[in-house]
Amino acid sequence: MSCGVPRIAAIEQPFGLTLGLPHDAARQLAVLSGTLQALEEISQPGTVVHLPFEWDAGEKLNTLPRKLRRSRGFLGGTRGIFRSS
């Protein structure tokens, strides 16, 4: 017995940016709407629909993580608690 994917709405976007860039609500909504419409229209199991969105290859992405900054966050106000006597 084998099991396959019931249906796929495929989009070629960079990893982590499937819906588009942050703060680009119009594109995100368009991709989400297109995805839901495609999934609604697919009638045969295993069908793959390629969504008509293209990524601008010239778009510069910041793929490097931000430097971790020391902050007074979670344990910032607890100085000395973990020191050994």
Q: Is residue 34 part of a domain?
A: yes
DSSP 14-67: -TT-TT-STT-HHHHHHHHHHHHHHHHH--STTEEEE-S----TT-----SPPP
pLDDT tens-digit readout, 54-70: 888 777 766 555 554 45
Q: Is residue 39 part of a domain?
A: yes
How many structural domains comprise the chain?
1
Mean pLDDT confidence for 30-55: 92
Q: Is residue 71 part of a domain?
A: no
Kindly report whether the global pTM for this prediction surpasses the value 0.95.
no
Q: Is residue 68 part of a domain?
A: no
Provide the residue range defining the domain that includes 34. Answer: 7-50
